[in-house]
Structure 1
Amino acid sequence: MLCGLKITNFAIVSELETQWRSGMTAITGETGAGKSIAIDALSLCLGERADAGAVRPGAKQADISARFDISQLPKAQQYLQEHMLEGDDDECLLRRVVAKNGRSKSYVNGIAVTAGQLKELGQYLLSIHGQHAHQLLLKSDQQLHLLDEYAGHGALLEQVANAHHTYTNLHRERQQLEAKHAQQQAQKQLLEYQVAELDEFSLNEGEYADIEVEHHKLSHSQQLLEGSQQQLYALYEGEEQTINGALQQSAAAIAELANIDNALEGVATMLNDACVQVEEASRELRAYCDGAELDPQRLQYLDERLGTAVTLARKHMVEPEALVEHHQHIKAELEAICVDDQRLAQLDEEIASALAAYQQHSLALSDSRKHAAEQLGELIGASMHELSMENGRFAIELDYDNERTPSKQGQDRIEFMVSTNPGQPLQALSKVASGGELSRISLAIQVIIAQRVTTPTLIFDEVDVGISGPTAAAVGKLLRRLGESTQVICVTHLPQVASSAMNQFFVAKEVANDETYTQMQPLNKQGRVDEIARLLAGDNISKATLANAKELIAAHG
């Protein structure tokens, strides 16, 4: 439950710190005093969107802290543990700081978090029911949400949402593939032709470079053979003086001279080695000449293949060296299109299967809703009687339509039906309920659902607008009864509701030095009597009014 709230420089609040108790607490005050200021601050502290307007004029930042007792809140404890946000003992401290530029920082137990995390944690701590809730009651999606909250079938809702997610993803994939398929048909035909052409040519990796080398060699084969033979004759096989013969003569002459002066022995050795090298080179050159052949057919083949490669490369606007890589690339493109075509054929079966699974879960959810709708309708009807609508009847109509476009909420159509006068048939809530009746029905639903959901702290922000007299007293009893099992905070202007509370705060506004300040003070027993009297009679408070105020408070013990 909420234990403490500290507000600094928020809206028209300069400094405010309040302590809160269990049971029902009423917040009252003059019109325009800012009775909802604490509720607005709590909303911000629980992750609602922040803006620069939250900061008090002249201040650098607004700072709001809310302290909760979570000793009896296992879900909140689990959330803190899972996100490593545990604090000391059984308390949880939420804090929100908003700068004057609108930027904000959020903290849980002193640890920085996102505003989204504040909101996630907040759902386990507190629930706020605003004064416009009855207007939302007319919307079918809100009616379905309220029924689901009462039913408490979260697992079924999750199953339907997951099945819907699967179905919509498959359906979206099919739409994208269909659009892609239409665009790809012309491209597919071109790719099929190009791939077939390159498949037929069948150029291998690195082959173009090898062809270029071999073509260059064969195109100069005559020159290579003639030149090699000439050099072979010059080195070794010539009829006249050869290089090998000249070297042998020089080597012999130097060898004789080395017998006289051994300083020439090195020269003699080198000349002998040169003779050996020349003989070896000559043998290699002879082998080359014997193996060399002129192959005009091979040259023609290489010439044609080289020319085709260049032509295809120009046609595909790539370099000849990149033709193999380009071939593999467009082949992969064609395969991808073929895979998409196959996937398109598979998707119809998968979509049908996903739709069947979705409808199975949706039907199970609908059955659960029908059971809960009957119970909730009876409870709301009984509450209407308590709230001075003695002849009121209430029912919830559900219509399951498996032909309806799937949604993550299922395939139910819902309508809240009401009759407020004897003999009047049940009709849609939006057609027959007056503003005051709608407000009372909305309050009854919120109280019933609050009891079912068991949120630890419930805040009702002027939900009693449009009611008075005996009905107001009935609302007060309803909220007090709810406060016996959970913490209830109610912003109200009705003495009958305020007197039903176990605790009460008074909100006042004052102006000093051309600045407006809002204060919120807890009321003692006499303070409550005076405030209830003010709510009864305004500024004209008499002894009779005070006595009436005491009676109203005493009536609740």
Structure 2
Amino acid sequence: MLTHLSIKNFAIVRHLDIEFSNNTTAITGETGAGKSIAIDALSLCLGGRAEAGMVRKNADKAEVTATFSLQKNEGATSWLSNNELDDGEEQCILRRVISSEGRSRAWVNGSPVTLQQMKELGLLLVNIHGQHAHQELLKPDMQRITLDNSAQHSSLLEQVQEKSTQFHALSRKLKGLQDEQQQRADRKSLLQYQLQELDDFALAENEFPELEAEFKKLSHSQTLLEDTQICLHKLYESDHGSALSIVDEALDKLSSLVEHDPQLSPIVQMLTEAQIQVQEASNELRHYVEHLEIDPMKMQQTDERYSKAMELARKHSVLPEFLASHHQGLHDELATLQQQDNDLESIIHELETLKSGYFTLAKQLHTSRQKSGGLLAQQVTEKLHKMNMPHAQFEIKVTAIENPKISAIGTDDIRFMLTSNKGMEADSIEKVASGGELSRISLAIQVLANRTSATMIFDEVDTGISGATASVVGKLLRELGENNQVLCVTHLPQVAAKAHQQMLVTKFTDKDITETHMQRLSEDKRVEELARLLAGDEITESALQNAKGLLHS
């Protein structure tokens, strides 16, 4: 619950420090005194929008600090722990600062936080019901949300939402595949034509470099044979000065001279090695010449395959050495396209399964809504009878939509219905409920639907009611405050008198300075304030006696 609120330089507030108690607190004051300013300031600590105009005139910044007790509020405690903002105390301090330029900063337990984080935490700490909240109840979406919150079937609703999300995601995928179906068919035809030619050629991986080398060798085989024969003759076989015979002759002469000059020994050694190298080279060359074949048939076959490889490489705009990998890439692309065609059938089948599962869950949700709607309608009707609507009958009509689309909210049309008088047929509340009746319906639902440990704030939700009805509304708020903290901004003495405690908002003006103050009222001061609400500016003895009667009734 909210235990303390500190406001500095906010709107017409210079400085306010307010301590709050549990149960129900009524906040009253003259029109224009600023009864809602504390709530507006608190809204900032709950992630509300900040504007430069909120800063008090001539101040450089506005600052609002709200302290909450976390006892019994497991949701807020868990959130703080998950976001590493838990300081180990059973309280939480929210702080918001707005500069005169409109910039704002936020802290939770002394740590900077984002506005989104502050909003998330704020939803777990406070529920604010504004004076126009009952108007929201006219919207079909709000009626559905109200019923679903009361029904407490969030798990079932989440399953419906999940099935809907899956169905629509898969539907988009199917549509994409269907839209591309003709494009895929055209591409598959082209790939099949290209692959037929490449499959027939069947160039193996790393074959082209070998084919290119073979082609070069065979295309120059005659030259290779003739030139290698000449070289072999000059190296070894010539009778007139072959390279080997010249080396032999030089080696013989120098060997005989070594004994005269040992410095020739290294030269003899080198010539000996040269003799061996020439002999080995000659042997290798002879072996090459003997096994070199000139095969016109093989030459033709190699030439044709090499030329075909070059032709296909040009046709597919790739280098010939990459033709084999390009071939495999086309195979992979065709397989992918064929798999996508197969996926169409699979997706269609999966969509039917999702659709069936969705409508099964939607039917369960429909049944739950009907059951919960009947119970909530009965309870609201009972509350309305106590709020000076003795003949009212409130109904919640849950109708299954014919030929519904799959959506995240189920397949129901939900309408809040009302008849205020006997003999009249129920009709939708937007058609038959007056402003006062709508306010009472909204309050009854808020009282019945509250299952949280958050602080509840009602900002003039009693608009449009008076007299005995106002007294019943006050009783409802007091009843709600027995187990919750309730803050109620009101202008009705019947409502204020039912609160456990009361605060008075006053406005002070001195020349160019205007300030708002808020103070807790003693019992005597409460009587005076209730008398003012009853009689206006002139407080009579009769008004005071009536005020005492209200307070002690």
What TM-score range do you get, normalising by the shorter chain?
over 0.9
Q: Distance in 1 between matches of 2:13 and 2:206?
A: 80
Q: Residues 496-552 of structure 1, C-alpha deviation per residue, up to 9 Å, x if partnerless?
A: 212221222223344557454433332333332333233223323333333333332
1:414-461 CA distances to partner (integer Å, 9 max, x unpaired)? 1111101121111111111112211111111111112xx233311111
Q: What is the rounded CA distance, in whole Å, between the counterparts of 1:253 and 1:150 in structure 2?
A: 121
Other-structure match for 2:460: 462
Write the distance in 2 (CA, Å) between the matches of 1:111 and 1:431. 50
Q: Which amino acid aligns with 1:457?
A: T
| Larger displacement relative to structure 2 (505-514 or 312-321) | 505-514
In structure 1, distance between residues paired with 2:444 and 2:194: 74
Q: Match of 1:377?
A: 377
- Cα gap change, 1:391 to 1:330, in 2 (>3 Å): same
Q: Quick one: structure 1 residues 8 and 215, their matched pair in 2 at CA, closer, same or farther if it must change by over 3 Å? A: farther
SS of 2:125's partner is coil
- Residue type of the partner of 1:530? E
Give the TM-score, by structure 2 length: 0.94
Match of 1:189 in 2: 189
**8 Å Cα contact 1:359-1:402 kept in structure 2:** no
> Aligned partner of 2:353: which letter?
S
Q: How does 1:462-481 map to 2 (within 5 A)?
A: 462-481=460-479
User: What RMSD in Å do the two structures reach over aligned CA positions?
Assistant: 2.2
Q: CA deviation at 1:384?
A: 1.0
Equivalent-residue separation in structure 2 for 1:5 and 1:190 (angstroms): 75
1:272 aligns with 2:272: yes
| Residue of structure 1 equivalent to 2:228 | 228
* C-alpha deviation, 1:284, in angstroms: 0.8
Is the 1:127–1:455 contact (alpha carbons within 8 Å) kept by the matching residues of 2? no
Letter in 2 for 1:222: Q
Q: Give the conservation status (yes or no) of the 8 Å contact 2:73–2:453.
A: no
Q: Secondary structure at the match of 1:128?
A: strand
Structure 2 match to 1:255: 255
- How far apart, in 2, do the equivalents of 1:95 and 1:180 lie? 55
Q: Which amino acid aligns with 1:42?
A: L
What residue number does 2:425 align with?
425
Confirm whether residue 315 of structure 1 aligns to residue 305 of structure 2: no
8 Å CA contact 1:52–1:101 kept in 2: the answer is yes
State the partner residue of 1:66: 66
Query: Within 2, Cα distance between the matches of 1:548 and 1:209?
Result: 111
Cα distance in 2, alignment partners of residues 198 and 231 from structure 1: 43
C-alpha deviation, 1:136, in angstroms: 1.4
**Letter of the aligned partner of 2:500 in structure 1?**
M
Structure 1 residue matching 2:498: 3-state secondary structure? coil
Change (3 A) 1:516 1:277: farther
**1:284 and 2:284 are equivalent in the alignment:** yes
* Total equivalences in the alignment: 553
Q: Name 2:487's counterpart in structure 1.
A: 489
Q: Is the 8 Å Cα contact of residues 505 and 523 (structure 1) preserved in structure 2?
A: yes
How far residue 170 of structure 1 moved from its aligned partner, in angstroms, is 2.0
Residue in 2 that maps onto 1:160 = 160
Alignment correspondent of 2:415: 415
Moved over 6 A (4+): none
SS at match of 2:107: strand
**Mean Cα displacement is larger for which, 194-203 or 237-246?**
194-203
Question: Is the aligned partner of 1:344 residue 2:326?
Answer: no
Q: Aligned residue for 2:243?
A: 243
How many Å separate the matches in 1 of 2:260 and 2:385? Answer: 145
**Distance in 2 of aligned mates of 1:478 and 1:185:** 70
Q: Aligned-pair distance for 1:408?
A: 1.7
Q: Please tell me the residue identity of whatever aligns with 2:472.
A: A
Question: Are residues 239 and 61 of structure 1, via their aligned partners in 2, closer, same or farther at CA, if it must alter by over 3 Å?
Answer: farther
What percent identity do the matched residue pairs reach?
A: 46
Task: Show structure 1 runs of 5+ residues with no match.
Answer: none
Counterpart selection for 1:547 from 523, 545, 548: 545
Give the match's secondary structure for 1:385: helix
**C-alpha distance after superposition, 1:359-378 (max 9, x if no partner):** 22222222222221111111
Q: Does 1:36 align with 2:36?
A: yes
Using the alignment, how far apart are the partners of 1:190 and 1:28 within structure 2? 82
Please tell me whether the aligned partners of residues 393 and 420 of structure 1 are also in contact (alpha carbons under 8 angstroms): yes
Q: What is the Cα deviation at residue 90 of structure 1? A: 1.1
Relative distance call for 1:170 and 1:58 in structure 2 (3 A) is farther
Q: CA–CA distance in 2 between the matches of 1:53 and 1:325? A: 69
Partner of 2:535: 537
User: Which range moved further: 529-538 or 252-261?
Assistant: 529-538
The yes-or-no answer on 1:499 pairing with 2:504 is no
Q: Check whether the contact 2:72–2:453 (CA below 8 A) recurs between aligned residues.
A: no
How far is 1:491 from its partner? 1.3
User: Residues 63 and 306 (structure 1 numbering): CA distance in 2 closer, same or farther, change over 3 Å?
Assistant: farther
Alpha-carbon shift at residue 274 of structure 1 (Å): 0.5
Q: Distance in 1 between matches of 2:51 and 2:244?
A: 101
Deviates more, 1:528-537 or 1:346-355: 528-537
Amino acid aligned to 1:111: S
Cα displacement (A) at 1:273: 0.7
Higher alpha-carbon deviation: 297-306 or 66-75: 297-306
TM-score if structure 1 supplies the norm length? 0.93
Of 359-368 and 316-325, more deviation after overlay is shown by 316-325
Q: Distance in 1 between matches of 2:156 and 2:297?
A: 79
Letter in 1 for 2:470: A
Q: Which moved more, 1:391-400 or 1:362-371?
A: 362-371
**Would the alpha carbon gap of residues 516 and 368 (structure 1) be closer, same or farther in structure 2, given more than 3 Å must change?**
same
Question: Aligned-pair distance for 1:88?
Answer: 3.2
Cα 1:293–1:34, aligned 2, differ >3 Å: closer, same or farther?
farther
